[in-house]
Amino acid sequence: MQRREFVKFCAVSAAAAGSPVLAAADATPTFYGRVKLIDDSGAPLKAAALPAERNFIFHYPYAATPCFLLNLGRPAKTSVRLATADRRAYEWRGAVGPQRSIVAYSAICAHQLAYPTKEISFISYRAEKSPRNRLGNVIHCCAEHSQYDPAQGARVLAGPAPQPLAAILLEHDAKTDGLTAVGTLGGEMFNQFFAKYEIKLSLEGGAPRATTAATSVVHELENYCRQQVKC
Ligand code: FES
């Protein structure tokens, strides 16, 4: 039997686990292609190779849409009830990996769509506290200080963001220790993102709306991005 550790997110799995089935109006997962996460050298990324509390970036489900991959260094909550800006409820069912500490989220801020580019990033995970970040252990967008809790499905803790970051659904293969992105859960911002940035992204080259191929390279943010704005 294949020993995969699935994020338990869909109504079917929720029912199987004895959880209430989501109502029709609830936000349900959106499944995109299965995309294996690989490292810079092209080898499958191992969950054990992810250092704790560091920012990693990969692109999913589109070639131009960045996501954070984080090892929180501690188990995340296993069930968090959240809602999108248009009040669709959903249940985030926790992290993956041997210590249930690995999470992934869209890196597009749910407020006004700040996102990490190769030139600059206003948004990233911050373990440390600062005068503008009294909480620590949050994904903090320095544009207008939205703060999200990555251990609770990217719940909004502070700032103007109207909803959590969309979660990226991961599978962890316990046999190979590999990670695969399979879909999203929560309030996707992809349509708004492309409406705002598609011309800019097209001028930068490539096809922004192309979906990620079978693999997606995971980069450490400090290697991917020239300047990280800290606040
Ligand atoms: S764009 Fe992130 S807080 Fe405004």
Look up the pTM and report it. 0.89
Euclidean distance between CA atoms 107 and 104, whole angstroms = 9
- The pair of structure tokens assigned to 12 is 């079917």
The CATH number of whichever domain residue 115 belongs to comes to 2.102.10.10
Number of domains in the chain: 1
Q: Write down the pLDDT at residue 60.
A: 98
Q: Per 3-state DSSP, what percentage of the chain is helix, strand, and coil (rounded to 5)?
A: 15, 35, 50
CA distances from 96 to 68, 75, 169, 172 (A): 14, 9, 9, 6
Name beta bridge partners: 28: none
**147 C-alpha to ligand 1 centroid (Å):** 9
Q: Write down the pLDDT at residue 143.
A: 95
Q: How many CA atoms lie within 13 A of 196 on its CB side?
A: 14
Q: Any idea of the CA torsion for 203, 40, 227, 164, to the nearest 10 degrees?
A: 80
Amino acid code (one letter) for 8: K
Q: Is the CB of 140 under 6 A from ligand 1?
A: no
Euclidean distance between CA atoms 30 and 168, whole angstroms = 10
- The pair of structure tokens assigned to 15 is 């029912």
Tens digit of each residue's pLDDT, the chain (231 residues): 344 444 433 333 333 333 334 444 688 999 999 999 999 999 999 999 999 999 999 999 999 999 999 999 999 999 999 999 999 999 999 899 999 999 999 999 999 999 999 999 999 999 988 888 888 899 999 999 999 999 999 999 999 999 999 999 999 999 999 999 999 999 999 999 999 999 999 998 878 899 998 999 999 999 999 999 988
Q: Write down the pLDDT at residue 25.
A: 62
Rg (CA), the chain: 17
Residue with tokens 């399979």: 182
What does the DSSP 8-state code read for residue 171? E
Q: Is the CB of 146 under 6 A from ligand 1?
A: yes
Q: Is the CB of 132 under 6 A from ligand 1?
A: no
Query: For residue 137, what are the contacts with CB-CB under 8 A and spacing of at least 6?
Result: 53, 72, 126, 127, 149, 150, 151
**How do 146-149 and 155-158 pair as beta strands?**
antiparallel
**137 C-alpha to ligand 1 centroid (Å):** 18
What's the domain range around 143? 4-228
**104 C-alpha to ligand 1 centroid (Å):** 19
